[in-house]
């Protein structure tokens, strides 16, 4: 549960305030947060044959479809329980039952993924009892996998909704143990991974002779592939069969501080060792991950990756002067923020201001090391506007254009939504090659 | 605390049992996949283009965070309306109530952004936890010098259309008639329901200027708050986005004696017809003559420019799926390019719009009934049209069917209204229909190997 800190509540131990403190205010101006249910939708989009059902009013799902469509340039199949005024009095419990039944009958999905909204969590609709009651009335639905993710709009942002949903997917669909597979690893990418990032991650892990099972896998569903049969369910992504293999993995990796709880849950329930990887951008971060893969696979680092590493080192030498001492203003969801900011600090840049969408400390494991070279505050894009002056580069989503344009500061698009730059879902910012690309993108943005 | 829905005469307008008729009063069924929106969205669509006002959403992040600055309503001046301002309700607010936070938020927004007015929107959550929007606005008003206006259309109230109507009530009861213009032009009109999407309004204004019509207030495209306050001094209301604001023009007719006409500025025919109707409504002989001369000249000019495109587009067949005035106006507009509508459908239109579309279409044309994504895909497969004309949310789905697509709703970047807009529209249609990319997608790869060789 996150606390209602939305005005400069420092979220880590570092108390140095790097910018002028603005007047506290009681509103959020130009939010960088998206709703948790939107994060839930992204997670569900990485599961093959799943029908996503938002328990809320029709606007809730329409806003999410529009936002994700303009970011991914893809249709987003998201259904709704279409709550109306009578539910304000009677609650939405019956509607949820009807919605699940209708969706199951009309669209025949392999899995139904439900997420709640501010409306239904305020009613206090008990989704678990609704599902149990439906299954009593409809025994034919007992075998139909239904995942229930609690994502009230008033707790957290995209990242928290995504995290809760991946956890719900894992916990619901991997109840039974699975046969041990000696070369298979489970990967839990964070909400900030693009479809191409996920693909890069899978490829890299495969280079070590390991078989990756990725939950969720948006690299084959939101990647903009062309083949599509008329269907309102997710096409591409990890299959139900592969999800059920996850308890048999030799290890799991989570990517991004907020995803560690997912790996921990698997470890706790099925004894699969979990390795938390806070970031995959930046030389040291990638080195650490590849060394782990060496250990696990018993193989040396593949030649191809070493070649990529040497190219990255060359880039660092060539551009260290143009990156060094550059002042960066960055506003993103915390997993991505920490990943990119750490990488920039590593090459000698200075983080002038770092604004996370939500408080991080409640989402991470107790042993997580917070960045020490810069302070991370919680803030919106109006805070960014107030604190970015004097910086050389703004890194934030497309909505930060309202800050960057008047300030005449170059603006590198990152996070979500990015609707005014082409090719976001094919962008790779992880691994050696991705780190190199990220630095190029920063340099090119600053070059104007 | 809510606008009394029974007084909005919703019932009388939905007697249709036709297949595919918009279901204004019928409840959407859970899980069926109808992709409509909510009342909050509908209210905001109408009011948000008031460019010099602050728009504060009293709700959790889902209501403002996912959707701010996402519409193409353009401004020639202030940009304040594009800001996403919200109380961003958190768990503790839900437990203890959000009124105090809201009052302070209104005061803070007014101080920081110096708006001409503050619109405050209720949402599902704020309504459910019992926050009294009116009282909070009154309380904040004590510290704020500009009008603070509550908009009470929480999402669960119904779909988008109902929100449009609530916004109409807000305009009528709280804004229109609260200030007097310095001078009153003899031919002053209001546009009602023109949102200046992609600059549509600016494609119409040259014609108004040419014939000597003064736009008193545009509700609400590129609007300034003070202009809307003086809208009651216009001599004529022109209802542009068809029926969603009918309640507003009817009430203005009753209270201020302003007659209204309906019109559309999409396509040559509808643009001319609307200009002509405006002139005729005033009945001034000189105005009528000027208008006819203008129409004669612009029609000839426009036709000459689009003629080569029409020659190439003639005989193409389109599927049309939209809402509001475009429901029927697009049928005519496409026909002006020689394109027939072989299937049409709507979700957010009124029954009248729907009937008008049906009347304009070929009797053999198909009426889209299943408006879900699945229904849409099946239809495209069956009909294989040369062109899909619909809104942005259908765009990427349409692209998967390898069919040329034109976005005519709020997300588009090109203005299609007026004579100039028709030329832009014709070019846009031709660009997608004749794009070289579609052909590439129909070629199998790798080529099939012939077994005999």
- Domain-wise residue ranges, chain A: 36-173, 184-302, 305-447
Q: Is residue B23 domain-resident?
A: no
pLDDT of residue B401: 87
Per the structure block, which two tokens stand in for A361?
């400390």
pLDDT of residue B287: 98
The partner residue sitting opposite B62, judged by closest CB among A3, A37, A106, is: A37
pLDDT of residue B21: 65
pLDDT of residue B118: 98
Share of chain A above pLDDT 70, in %: 94
> Which of left, alpha, beta for B182 (phi over 0: left; psi -120 to 50: alpha)?
alpha
- One domain for residues B107 and B241: no
Alpha carbon A397 to its chain's center: 14
Mean pLDDT of B422-450: 92
SS3 content of chain A, % helix, strand, coil (to 5): 45, 15, 40
pLDDT of residue B19: 66
- One domain for residues B85 and B203: no
Residues B289-335 have pLDDT tens digits of 999 999 999 999 999 999 999 999 999 999 998 877 787 889 999 99
Q: Are B415 and B431 in contact (CB under 8 A)?
A: no
pLDDT of residue B360: 82
From A62, which residue of chain B is nearest by alpha-carbon distance? B37
pLDDT of residue A31: 97
What's the domain count of chain B? 3
The partner residue sitting opposite A35, judged by closest CB among B56, B62, B85, is: B62
Give the containing element (helix H, strand E) for B220: strand B214-220
Share of chain A above pLDDT 90, in %: 82
More confident residue, B428 or B444: B428
Lowest mean pLDDT among A16-25, A47-56, B54-63, B351-360: A16-25
Q: Is B28 in contact with A60 (Cβ distance < 8 A)? A: no
CATH number corresponding to A184-302: 3.40.50.1980
Q: Are A403 and A394 in contact (CB under 8 A)?
A: yes
pLDDT of residue A7: 35
Residue A100's φ and ψ, nearest 5 degrees, are: -65, -45
Mean pLDDT of B263-291: 97
Chain A residue numbers with beta carbons less than 8 Å from the beta carbon of B33 are 79, 103, 106-107, 232
Mean pLDDT of A251-278: 97
Residue B3, pLDDT > 90, answer no
- One domain for residues B342 and B412: yes
The 3-state DSSP class for residue A348 equals coil
Residue B6, pLDDT > 50, answer no
From A151, which residue of chain B is nearest by alpha-carbon distance? B62
Q: Is residue B450 domain-resident?
A: no
Q: Is residue B8 domain-resident?
A: no
Residues B146-187 have pLDDT tens digits of 999 999 999 999 888 899 999 999 999 999 999 999 999 999
Residue A362, pLDDT > 70, answer no
For domain A305-447, say whether CATH 3.40.50.1980 is its number.
yes
Q: Residue B38: which CATH number?
A: 3.40.50.1980
Secondary-structure class of domain A36-173 per CATH: alpha beta
* A314 vs A318: CA distance, rounded Å: 6
Chain B residue numbers with beta carbons less than 8 Å from the beta carbon of A357 are none
Residue B281, pLDDT > 50, answer yes
Residue B11, pLDDT > 60, answer no
* B158 vs B24: CA distance, rounded Å: 9
Residue A47's φ and ψ, nearest 5 degrees, are: -125, 120
Residue B409, pLDDT > 60, answer yes
**B352: containing domain:** 313-440
Confidence bin at B369 (pLDDT 50/70/90): confident
Residue A57's nearest CA partner among B127, B28, B424 is: B28
Residues B45-95 have pLDDT tens digits of 999 999 999 999 999 999 988 889 888 899 999 999 999 999 999 999 999
**Strands B85-86 and A28-29, bridge-based pairing:** antiparallel
Chain A residue numbers with beta carbons less than 8 Å from the beta carbon of B124 are 56-57, 88, 118-119, 122
Residue with tokens 């000459």: B304
Q: Is residue B18 domain-resident?
A: no
The residues in A 76-115 lying below 8 A from B, measured between CB atoms, are 77, 79-85, 87-88, 95-96, 98-103, 106-107
Q: Is A119 in contact with B109 (Cβ distance < 8 A)? A: no
Q: Which residues of B109-123 are buried (b: 16+ CB within 10 A; e: fewer)?
A: bbebbebbbbbbbbb
Per the structure block, which two tokens stand in for A404?
């960057």
Residues A391-444 have pLDDT tens digits of 999 999 999 999 999 999 999 999 999 999 999 999 999 999 999 999 999 999
The residues in A 12-31 lying below 8 A from B, measured between CB atoms, are 25-31
Q: How far is A426 from chain B (nearest CA, A)?
A: 16
pLDDT of residue B391: 83
Residue A24, pLDDT > 80, answer no
Domain end residue (candidates: B175, B204, B227): B175
Chain B residue numbers with beta carbons less than 8 Å from the beta carbon of A27 are 56, 85-88, 105, 108-109
Q: Is residue B242 domain-resident?
A: yes
Task: Identify the residue among A4, A59, A228 best suited for mutation to test binding to B, counting B beta carbons within 10 A and taking the highest.
Answer: A59
Q: Residue B240: which CATH number?
A: 3.40.50.12380
**What average pLDDT does chain A have?**
92
pLDDT of residue B451: 65
Q: Are A332 and A414 in contact (CB under 8 A)?
A: yes
pLDDT of residue B10: 44
pLDDT of residue A8: 36
Domain end residue (candidates: B297, B332, B354): B297
- One domain for residues B326 and B277: no
């Amino acid at each position: 549960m996150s606390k209602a800190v939305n005005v400069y509540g420092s979220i880590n131990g570092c108390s140095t305030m790097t910018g002028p403190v603005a007047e506290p205010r009681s509103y959020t101006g130009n939010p960088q947060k998206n709703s948790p249910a939107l994060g839930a939708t992204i997670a569900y989009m990485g599961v093959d044959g799943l029908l996503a059902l938002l328990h809320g009013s029709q606007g809730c799902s329409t806003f999410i479809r529009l936002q994700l469509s303009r970011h991914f340039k893809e249709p987003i199949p998201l259904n709704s329980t279409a709550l109306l005024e009578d539910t304000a009095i009677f609650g939405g419990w019956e509607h949820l039952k009807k919605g699940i039944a209708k969706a199951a009958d009309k669209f025949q999905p392999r899995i139904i993924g439900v997420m709640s909204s501010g409306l239904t969590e305020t009613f206090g609709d008990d989704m678990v009892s609704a599902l149990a009651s439906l299954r009593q009335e409809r025994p034919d639905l007992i075998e139909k996998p239904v995942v229930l993710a609690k994502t009230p709009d008033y707790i957290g942002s995209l990242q928290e909704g995504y995290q809760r949903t991946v956890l719900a997917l894992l916990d619901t669909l991997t109840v039974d143990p699975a046969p041990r597979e000696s070369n298979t690893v489970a990967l839990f990418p964070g909400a900030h991974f693009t479809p191409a990032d996920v693909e890069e991650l899978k490829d890299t892990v495969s280079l070590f002779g390991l078989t990756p099972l990725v939950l969720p896998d948006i690299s084959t569903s939101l990647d903009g592939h062309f083949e599509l049969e008329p269907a309102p369910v997710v096409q591409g992504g990890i299959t139900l069969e592969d999800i059920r293999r996850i308890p048999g993995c030799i290890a799991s990796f989570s990517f991004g501080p907020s995803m560690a709880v997912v790996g921990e849950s698997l470890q706790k329930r099925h004894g699969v060792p979990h390795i938390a990887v806070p970031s995959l951008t930046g030389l040291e971060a990638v080195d650490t991950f590849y060394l782990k893969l060496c250990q696990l696979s018993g193989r040396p680092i593949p030649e191809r990756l070493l070649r990529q590493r040497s190219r990255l080192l060359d880039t660092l030498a060539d551009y260290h002067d143009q990156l060094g001492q550059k002042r960066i203003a960055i506003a993103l969801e915390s997993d991505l923020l920490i990943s990119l900011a750490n990488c920039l600090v590593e090459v000698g840049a200075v983080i002038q201001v770092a604004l996370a969408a939500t408080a991080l400390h409640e989402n991470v494991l107790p042993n997580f090391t917070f960045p020490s070279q810069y302070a991370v505050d919680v803030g919106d894009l109006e805070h960014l506007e107030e604190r970015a002056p004097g910086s050389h580069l703004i890194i934030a989503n497309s909505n930060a254009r309202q800050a960057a344009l008047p300030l005449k500061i170059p603006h590198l698009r990152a996070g979500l939504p990015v609707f005014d730059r082409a090719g976001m879902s094919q962008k790779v910012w992880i691994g050696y090659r991705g780190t190199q690309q990220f630095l190029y993108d920063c340099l090119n943005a600053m070059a104007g | 605390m809510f606008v009394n829905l029974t007084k909005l005469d919703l019932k009388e307008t939905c007697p249709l049992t036709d297949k595919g008729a918009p279901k204004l009063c019928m409840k959407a069924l859970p899980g069926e996949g109808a992709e409509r929106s909510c009342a909050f969205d509908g209210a905001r669509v109408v009011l948000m283009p008031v460019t010099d006002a602050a728009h504060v959403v009293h709700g959790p992040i889902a209501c403002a965070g996912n959707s701010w600055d996402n519409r193409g309503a353009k401004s020639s001046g202030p940009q304040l309306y594009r800001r996403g301002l919200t109380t961003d309700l958190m768990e503790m607010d839900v437990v203890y109530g959000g009124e105090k936070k809201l009052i302070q938020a209104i005061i803070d927004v007014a101080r920081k952004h110096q708006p001409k007015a503050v619109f405050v929107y209720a949402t599902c959550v704020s309504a459910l936890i019992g926050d009294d929007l009116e009282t909070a606005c009154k309380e904040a008003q004590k510290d704020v010098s500009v009008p603070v206006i509550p908009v009470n259309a929480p999402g669960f109230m119904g779909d988008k259309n109902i929100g449009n109507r609530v916004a109409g009530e807000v305009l009528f009861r709280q804004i229109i008639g609260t200030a007097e213009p310095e001078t009153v032009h003899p031919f002053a009109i209001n546009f009602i329901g023109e949102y200046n999407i992609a600059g549509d309004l600016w494609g119409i204004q040259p014609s108004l200027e040419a014939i000597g019509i003064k736009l008193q207030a545009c509700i609400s495209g590129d609007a300034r708050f003070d202009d809307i306050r003086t809208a009651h001094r216009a001599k004529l209301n022109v209802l542009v986005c068809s029926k969603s604001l009918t309640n507003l023009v009817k009430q203005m007719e009753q209270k201020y004696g302003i007659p209204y006409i309906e019109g559309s500025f999409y396509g040559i025919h509808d643009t001319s017809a609307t200009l002509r109707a405006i002139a005729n409504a005033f009945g001034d002989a000189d105005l009528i003559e000027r208008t006819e001369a203008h129409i004669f000249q612009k029609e000839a000019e426009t036709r000459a420019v689009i003629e080569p495109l029409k020659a190439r587009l003639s005989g193409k067949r389109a599927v049309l799926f939209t809402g509001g005035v475009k429901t029927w106006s697009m049928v005519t507009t496409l026909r002006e390019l020689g394109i027939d509508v072989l299937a049409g459908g709507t979700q957010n239109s009124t029954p009248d719009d729907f009937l008008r579309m049906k009347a304009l279409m070929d009797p053999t044309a198909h009426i889209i009934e299943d408006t879900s994504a699945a229904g849409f895909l099946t239809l495209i497969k069956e009909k294989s049209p040369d062109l899909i004309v619909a809104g942005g949310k259908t765009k990427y789905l349409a692209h998967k069917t390898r069919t040329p697509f034109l976005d005519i709703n709020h997300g588009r970047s090109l203005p299609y209204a007026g004579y100039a807009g028709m030329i832009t529209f014709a070019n846009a249609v031709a660009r997608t229909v004749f794009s070289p990319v579609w052909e590439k997608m129909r070629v199998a790869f790798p080529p099939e190997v012939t077994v005999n060789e």
